[in-house]
Structure 1
Amino acid sequence: MTHLKLAPGAWVVVGDGQKALFLTNEGDEKFPNLRRLSVELHDDPPTHEQGSDAPGRTYSSIGTGRSAVEETDWHEVEKERFAASIAERINKGAQSAAFKQLVVVAPPKILGDLRREFTKETGTKILAEIPKDLTHHTIAEIERLLTAE
């Protein structure tokens, strides 16, 4: 990873489809000190526990052809909803000037979902977007990975 110079008060959001860790830099650019602001967890059962029926079928209006309709992946739908709620919280923070810099760390799919929901104001405050899943790392490891040269 690249060496990031996090300003005091910068936010670092580390998330995936089920967990989001909000951190703030209480140190300075030279010696960052990430502290937890909050953790948001989202209960997202597997699709087979959320779905209730077999995939649908369509029938051709001419002849005997028929085909299956792809089943909705409710697990992915919930991940997208969670990402939208996280983006909303970040957007509110940007609007209220809760931070001047933002680093977002998430798997590529979730990062794309977040990016779609960010406002222009939030976009101007993004220092880096890192396409990795670091939700299972400690805060010290995240700090080390973000600031390593």
Structure 2
Amino acid sequence: MPDFQPAARKTAVSWVLVASGKSATVYGRETDNAEVPTTAQPNRPGTIETRQSLKAVDGLSWQAQSAEAIYDVNPDKLGRVFQSYSSQRSMSEPPIDARQEVKLDLMKTAAEAINGAHLAGRFERLTVIAPAKLLGELRKLFSKGVLATIEAEIPKDLTAESPHQLASHLTELV
């Protein structure tokens, strides 16, 4: 009778996108089962505890450019316009909100990279952590395939957190 060994179970590759208006980073989510010995009974096998860790995925981290560097943005300067039919002047709104455009450009860049990675089969599940307004923008930018892989969304800005702190937020989801 041949020796039968079950095939190793392939774990699904999970990614976590952590984004804000200033930066976005994709982390690979790794889960391992570790045996934790019990101190009360050292001869008994320990309990199995699932631990999660996050590692940044190479090449999938972005920083937004400064709106002031891209556009001539001066909030103290008043935009005045002359009326064509008289000599009156009135205030005018700038045609675009430069800061909003920079945020959206960052989200477009991140979404395009994630859409491409999904087509290449680099991940199977995605968790998105971003402020609520950016979550809505990302949903519009993600492909249908990526939207199907989203397992959780957290409407918070956690870009300043370390990978260890982010992992603790994710343990609540599992």
Band of TM-score, shorter chain: 0.7 to 0.9
Match of 1:68 in 2: 91
| Aligned counterparts of 2:109 and 2:137: Cα–Cα separation in 1 | 11
How much does 1:14 deviate?
0.2
Checking the alignment, whether the CA contact within 8 Å between 2:63 and 2:106 is kept in structure 1 is: no
Identity among equivalent pairs (%): 29
**8 A contact 1:50–1:74 mirrored in 2:** no
Q: 1:58 deviation in Å?
A: 6.7
Among 53, 62, 70, the residue aligned to 1:40: 62
Structure 1 or 2: more helix by fraction: 1
Runs of 4+ residues over 6 Å off in structure 1: 63-66
Name the aligned partner's letter for residue 131 of structure 2.
P
Partners of 2:70 and 2:53 lie apart in 1 by 42
Q: Which residue of 2 aligns with 1:92?
A: 116
Residue type of the partner of 1:140? H
Paired residue type of 2:27: L
Shift of 1:25: 1.4
C-alpha contact 1:47 1:75 (8 A) present in aligned 2? no
Structure 2: state its 5+ residue gaps: 1-10, 34-49
Structure-2 separation of matches of 1:77 and 1:110: 12
Higher relative contact order (CA 8 A, sep 6+): 1
Instruction: Say what the alpha-carbon RMSD is for the aligned residues.
Output: 2.8
In structure 2, the partner of 1:4 is: none
C-alpha distance in 2, partners of 1:16/1:91? 18
Residues 29-82 of structure 1 deviation map (CA, whole Å, 9 limit, x = unaligned) = 842221111422222244896337743537386x88764331232111111111
Residue 16 (structure 1) aligned with residue 20 (structure 2): yes
Matched, 1:140 2:144: no
Write 1 or 2 for the structure with the bigger share of strand.
2
The amino acid that maps onto 1:134 is: L
Aligned length: 142
| 8 Å Cα contact 1:12-1:103 kept in structure 2 | yes
Between 1:81-90 and 1:51-60, the stretch displaced more is: 51-60
Normalised by the length of structure 1, the TM-score is: 0.80
- Report the structure number with the largest CA radius of gyration: 2
Work out whether residues 47 and 74 of structure 1, in 8 Å CA contact, stay in contact via their aligned partners in 2.
Answer: no
Contact 2:80 2:89 in 1 (8 A): no
Cα distance in 2 for partners of 1:33, 1:92 equals: 24
